[in-house]
Amino acid sequence: MSLIHKTAAELGALIASGQASAAEVAEAHLDRIEQVEPKVRAFLHVDREVTLEQARAVDERIRQGEKLGPLAGVPIAHKDIFATRDMPTTAASKILEGWRPPYDATVTARLRKAGLVILGKTNLDEFAMGSSTENSAYHATHNPWDLTRVPGGSSGGSSAAVAAYQAPLSTGTDTGGSIRQPAAVTGIVGMKPTYGGSSRYGLIAFASSLDTPGPFARNVMDAALLHAAFSGHDPMDSTSIDAAVPDVVEAASNADIAGMRIGVVKEFGGEGYQQGVLNRFHDAVELLESLGAKVVELSCPSFTTALPAYYLIAPSECSSNLARFDAMRYGLRVGDDGTRSAEEVMALTRAAGFGPEVKRRIMLGTYALSSGYYDAYYGQAQKVRTLISRDFEAAFHQVDVLISPTTPTTAFPIGERADDPMAMYLADLCTIPSNLSGNAAMSVPIGLADEDNLPVGLQIMAPVLGDDRCYRVGAAVEKALESRWGGPLLKEAPAL
């Protein structure tokens, strides 16, 4: 089997035992990127030399006998929202075009420390605002399963890169579903760790109380290895949890769910859901029962107002966070001709540098926070947030994990929802509650929808710091389905 089709764990083992070098493995993936990138367009930045230099440095560290983790030498595609010293960091926005951060994000630094080799920076919806990656200021990314469809978003470059075998692993950030939704629609595994379980330092902020870095991989174990490599307390992030990272690697190898209590969220299903998605979900429920889990239906009534609450809270936080793009210290500056004031230059720069969705959300957030509307909108949304956390709390008294479809539909055609924000927002219907409550949640592939033969994801939600439960259930589902399918779901994807 060629190097690009191997799992991250296999590549790590080959490199550790000297059967392959990190440089060789990087080269195979760079070649693959060159070959399929014109079709997929997952990356915003690839620099062969920078990548090979990193790989050779890792080979040297291994040769020197440095004790590195299980992913040493394994290549990774890195979402272009994490600061990287040696590569541009743009958040897919024109306002940061060509910007080179003077420091590495904590996630970036930990990848380097673990010996991962960064292949390039992946495309996203501008500032992670979107569910299709069409809001990138640079170009759209195409779903490897059907190039006319979106790869999900906002981390759509990262999901497409892994699904297209351009990288065995990638990073994402999940604010309302931006890891789980793209993972679901590209047939791969995506994990949103517990909020505060992975560091936001050097992650370009969208909504700080929700933003969570997490892993993408083609299988549950690889996702666990990456999760373990970059998670854990970071003194540079004041909202980072000072507790041990749950043992996700052990959970991924365990895969035993006999006796586990699993709750189906009653509110997620029915009208607005694609029949093929519901069919695969029902199959998954039967599968979980056959594996010895006790599945019950549960009601979480406040989840139905999670979407409106999110679209008040996230834009409010974004309107404040994005005020930093003021054309003064870094990034784009437009109209500074000596006659205009700083404020005029600021307004011209922001109008030229931000795309339509970013402008919509900044204005929406400004509206929700303005005096006279604050109580009715932002204040009320915060109360709904409390109710959602209470629903989760009550549910987790009765069950170990909750499940739902990850998304109401499979990947939609590029362009279909591009100028219809409300239709786009519905893609995150099932994923948003976990962001508002901060709990852990994963998406694993559970098959193809009958109508369009496109991937469907199962969402597994666990309590705060119960990340390991997601991996345990995810691994059990994966193991059972792969033995039924005779290999991973991605085997069914058309050749690129």
Partner 1 sequence: MSAITRDEVAHLARLSRLAISDDELDHYATQLDDIIAAVAKVAEVAAEDVPPSSHALPLTNVFRADEVRQSLTPELALSGAPAVEDDRFRVPRILGEEA
| Catalytic residue annotation | 79, 154, 178
Task: DSSP for 270-315, please give it.
Answer: STTS-HHHHHHHHHHHHHHHHTT-EEEEE--GGGGGHHHHHHHHHH
Query: Looking only at residues 103 through 122 of this chain, which bind partner 1 when binding is defined by CB under 8 A?
Result: 103
Query: Looking only at residues 240 through 259 of this chain, which bind partner 1 when binding is defined by CB under 8 A?
Result: 241
Query: Looking only at residues 159 through 218 of this chain, which bind partner 1 when binding is defined by CB under 8 A?
Result: 195-196, 209-210
**Structure-token pair, residue 270:** 């029915």
Q: Judged by CB under 8 A, does residue 29 bind partner 1?
A: no
Question: What is the nearest approach in angstroms of partner 1 to the Cβ of residue 357?
Answer: 10
- Candidates 436, 473, 475, 493: give the one binding partner 1 (CB under 8 A): 436
The helix or strand, by DSSP H or E, that contains position 77, with its residue range, turns out to be: strand 75-79
Q: Judged by CB under 8 A, does residue 362 bind partner 1?
A: yes
Residue with tokens 């600021």: 346
Q: Which stretch binds partner 1 (CB under 8 A): 213-221, 249-257, 291-299, 308-316?
A: 308-316
Q: Assign 440 to helix, strand or coil.
A: strand
Q: Judged by CB under 8 A, does residue 374 bind partner 1?
A: no
- Candidates 35, 253, 382, 453: give the one binding partner 1 (CB under 8 A): 382
d(C-alpha 490, C-alpha 461), whole Å: 23
Q: How many residues does the chain have?
A: 496
Question: What is the nearest approach in angstroms of partner 1 to the Cβ of residue 236?
Answer: 10
Nearest to 162 by CA among 143, 146, 149: 143
Of the two residues 296 and 323, which places its CB atom closer to partner 1 in the complex? 323
Of the two residues 254 and 330, which places its CB atom closer to partner 1 in the complex? 330
Q: Judged by CB under 8 A, does residue 367 bind partner 1?
A: yes
Query: Looking only at residues 215 through 244 of this chain, which bind partner 1 when binding is defined by CB under 8 A?
Result: 235, 238-239, 241
Of the two residues 257 and 381, which places its CB atom closer to partner 1 in the complex? 381
Q: Judged by CB under 8 A, does residue 77 bind partner 1?
A: no
483 phi and psi angles, rounded to 5 deg: -70, -30
What is the SS3 assignment for 235-262? CCCCCCCCCCCCCHHHHHHHCCCCCCEE
Q: Judged by CB under 8 A, does residue 386 bind partner 1?
A: yes
Q: Judged by CB under 8 A, does residue 345 bind partner 1?
A: yes
Of the two residues 281 and 354, which places its CB atom closer to partner 1 in the complex? 354
| Neighbour count for residue 65 (Cβ, 10 Å) | 7
- Candidates 12, 75, 101, 474: give the one binding partner 1 (CB under 8 A): 101
Query: Residue 30 in contact with residue 118, Cβ under 8 Å?
Result: no
Question: What is the nearest approach in angstroms of partner 1 to the Cβ of residue 183?
Answer: 21
Sheet holding 43-46, edge to edge: 43-46, 117-122, 75-79, 169-174, 212-217, 189-192, 440-448, 455-462, 401-405, 261-265, 294-298
Q: Assign 494 to helix, strand or coil.
A: coil
- Candidates 180, 385, 417, 472: give the one binding partner 1 (CB under 8 A): 385
Query: Residue 456 in contact with residue 449, Cβ under 8 Å?
Result: yes
Query: How many residues sit in the footprint of partner 1 (CB under 8 A)?
Result: 72
Query: Residue 98 in contact with residue 115, Cβ under 8 Å?
Result: no
Q: Judged by CB under 8 A, does residue 415 bind partner 1?
A: no
Q: Judged by CB under 8 A, does residue 56 bind partner 1?
A: no
Question: What is the nearest approach in angstroms of partner 1 to the Cβ of residue 435?
Answer: 8
